[in-house]
Amino acid sequence: MIKTVAIQGVKGSFHHIVSQQYLGDAALVDECMTFDAVIDSILSKKNDAAIMAIENSIAGSIIPNYALIDTHNLHIVGEHYLDIQHHLMALPNQSIDDIKEVYSHPMALLQCKAFFKQYPNIKLIEDIDTAQVAQRIQKNQTKNIAAIASRLAAQLFELNIISESIQTIKHNETRFFVVKTKNSEIPQNEINKASIKFELDHKRGSLATILNVLSDCQLNLTKIQSLPKIETPWKYAFFVDVTFESYEDYDKAKSIMKIMAQDFKVLGEYKNARL
């Protein structure tokens, strides 16, 4: 049972919202400013689990988080998809014309880039966390500065939403992993999704051969992400997500890939949140 969970950002952040939806309000939330600090908090056993954003439907994969999970031999025990709605907010009694600068997380700024083309005089500045910017505006009572953050952040820090849902693509989802230092305790018959990692030789058709194994064993490939190996130039590790109806089919594919691929590793076996 997860009693304490580490999140990147402060309360009001999207990670905080995921913790509420996935774990309920009973779990204690530990606010960390970086993903490195999030990882350290579970490695030191300060927290039972961590929540980490892993990919966004607009901006793509968050590559460094794959590396953190792999490097520290962490286990993905669950996933959660969150509808991301970015709102522009500031202290009360201000309009968009009063805003000179907007601070937010780089990912949020990227997802809202098109909105600000109509306001060329507003300067966009990258910051560490969406909700922390909102918190800082409220604490310092800073006028002429706005944040891009969640509706929960506006409520918690008593800010006025100047413009709602300013993200470029209105259907904007982020996928989050729930991560622990030990493998999941989910019963085998409930597991229908897995995240795996492997490396391959530079041989013609080596990746195609692995993908054929997945297909032959009735596995559905839902994601494939390559990550360069820093210590070995031009060699790549592949991070793959698969779904399946039968754990036996997955287990068969796993045993074949262990033989065919190099550095084969199971990052997590869990329930498919898309069902």
Domains located in the chain, CATH noted:
4-83+172-180 (3.40.190.10), 87-163 (3.40.190.10), 188-270 (3.30.70.260)
Q: What is the spatial distance between Cα 151 and Cα 11, in angstroms, rounded to a whole number?
A: 12
pLDDT band at 275 (very low <50, low <70, confident <90, very high): low
Higher pLDDT, 266 or 236: 266
Beta strands in 229-261 (DSSP E): 236-243
Nearest CA among 223, 229, 225 for reference residue 71 = 229
Instruction: Name the nearest CA neighbour of 226 among 239, 212, 241.
Output: 239
Quick one: angle between helices 247-260 and 206-216, nearest 10? 160
- Residue type for position 211: L
Q: How far apart are CA 160 and CA 239, in angstroms?
A: 41
pLDDT at 1 over 90: no
Whether the predicted pLDDT of 233 surpasses 80:
no
Alpha-carbon distance 14 to 19, whole Å? 9
Question: Would you place residue 134 in the very low, low, confident or very high pLDDT band (cuts 50, 70, 90)?
Answer: very high
Looking at every residue in the chain, the average pLDDT score rounds to 94
Output the six-digit token pair for 28: 């204690």
The helix (run of H) or strand (run of E) holding residue 8 is: strand 4-8
Its sign, for the CA torsion 86, 268, 178, 130, is: negative
Q: Residue 220: beta bridge partners?
A: 243
Between residues 166 and 60, the one the model is more confident about:
166
Confidence at residue 60, expressed as pLDDT on a 0 to 100 scale: 84
**Per-residue pLDDT band at 229 (split at 50, 70, 90):** confident
Q: Whole-angstrom Cα distance, residue 206 to residue 47? A: 40
110-125, pLDDT tens digit by residue?
999 999 999 999 999 9
